[in-house]
Amino acid sequence: MIDRTRGYYNEKSETMSREEREVYKKERLSEILQYGYEHSKFVRSLLIKAGLRPEEIKELKDLEKLPITKKADLVKAQKENPPFGGFETLSGKNLKRIYISPGPVFEPGERDYRDIRWAQALYASGIREGDIVLNTFNYHLTPLALMLDESLQMIGATVVPVGPGNISMLIQLMRELKVTGYIGTPSFLMAIVDAAEGMGLNLQKEIHLQTAFVGAEMFPESLRQKLEGKLHILIQQGYGTVDVGCLGYECREKKGMHIPEDVIVEIVDTETGKQLEMGATGEIVATNFIKAFPMIRFATGDLSYLIEEPCPCGRTSFRLGKILGRTDQVTKVSGIFIHPWQVDEIMHKFPMVANYQVVVTRKEYRDAMSLYIELKEEVSDPHTLKRRLEREVEETLKVKGEVIFT
């Protein structure tokens, strides 16, 4: 049996000291800002708007001086300057592929650039040379499946490029080829497991999976436990977006997602764009070093926080915590932001809650928040529960809300 728990894709960079990593990232940032200033209309205009020359961004902290770029800004830039919105930094013959992400945003891929971030992620998830890996992401249009295909090859694994296809055929392939690795969404893996059980298969004996790497959607802890319990394997997740690539990946310790060296991840206040302190929740903003499509402070729309403490796996990078939701799910009540993940956290403390819905209404210039709650079963003293819930809501959200049992 292969030891999937130890080792690194790139030990030197994954275990460098924090000071070395900071220096490395600063150097890469200078390079990309210089390159972007010279070759990318879009990046140059960011710097000009901020009244800065690239060499004036010296520290990662200085990034705050530059504006945030949102997906909508990319779409607008590409409409105004087709096709790449001022990212035409390389001539056609240096472009390997053009990907399309929703928007649509056209994303040029550099012919000779090897992005090792997904390879680091796959290696950390346990995939090794010689593994036969089912790639169930969709190879069409968006870059994820093709990049992971390349990353699996960088590790020396063999790819079965199946896409999100016919599940009963996939199960047949997994059995006949003795597939050892899975990459795809967690929900598709669950669908495969359900179908295999439905066919009466013994998951450990007849499905030969040894490791799985999931991404591209939320991965609740409950689903992880279910899958790991049924398959008797560890399942790791990675996080990234089509526009900026891999931003974090779990190691076998599953204590947050390691941020790769070749990207800068900031957690910022969505309103001000200022970097938040370690542990505080804010929007994930990323800066990558890809010449064909350099993203400087790209706003992902996802909410998370940074973890500083060292990881027992030996990797020395900061980590991203759980993805807590989307900035666009935020609602303002009486001037205060309410995030769905905050309400989730409250409800987790009350195991008798089955479902809930938050409704915000406005009556004559005053906001009112109601929480409609469905209980798993009747409780003996609903009045006390209502009071406890309302107290918790007010303490956590700093806003009053009325609890209504439905």
In 90-227, DSSP assigns E strands to: 95-101, 105-110, 132-135, 158-161, 181-184, 211-214
* Other C-beta atoms lying within 10 Å of the C-beta of residue 47: 20
Among 140, 274, 349, 400, binds its own copies (CB under 8 A): 140
Contact 297, 313 (CB under 8 A): no
Q: How far apart are CA 287 and CA 35, in angstroms?
A: 14
**Helix/strand/coil percentages in the chain, nearest 5:** 35, 25, 40
**Smallest gap, in angstroms, from Cβ of residue 360 to its own copies?**
36
Instruction: Tell me the per-residue interface mask from 166 to 195 with its own copies, x by CB under 8 A, - otherwise.
Output: ---x--xx--xxx-----------------
Examine residue 160 and tell whether it contacts its own copies (CB under 8 A).
yes
Widest pairwise Cα distance in the chain: 72
Examine residue 113 and tell whether it contacts its own copies (CB under 8 A).
no
Q: How far apart are CA 309 and CA 147, in angstroms?
A: 30
Among 10, 30, 34, 158, binds its own copies (CB under 8 A): 158
**Smallest gap, in angstroms, from Cβ of residue 123 to its own copies?**
14
- The residue count for binding its own copies (CB under 8 A) is 39
Taking the least distance from each CB to its own copies, the nearer of 133 and 393 is: 133
**Smallest gap, in angstroms, from Cβ of residue 132 to its own copies?**
7
Taking the least distance from each CB to its own copies, the nearer of 112 and 381 is: 112
In 242-295, DSSP assigns E strands to: 245-249, 257-258, 263-268, 282-288
Contact 283, 70 (CB under 8 A): no
Strand partners, 357: 372
Kindly indicate which of the ranges 53-61, 126-134, 300-308, 342-350 contains the residues binding its own copies, using the contact rule CB under 8 A. Answer: 126-134
**Smallest gap, in angstroms, from Cβ of residue 193 to its own copies?**
21
**Smallest gap, in angstroms, from Cβ of residue 84 to its own copies?**
9
Strand pairing report for 105-110 and 325-326: unpaired
Kindly indicate which of the ranges 44-52, 86-94, 200-208, 240-248 contains the residues binding its own copies, using the contact rule CB under 8 A. Answer: 86-94
**Smallest gap, in angstroms, from Cβ of residue 40 to its own copies?**
18
Rule CB under 8 A: which residues touch its own copies?
82-83, 91-93, 95-100, 104, 106, 111, 129-132, 139-141, 145-146, 149, 153, 156, 158-163, 165, 169, 172-173, 176-178
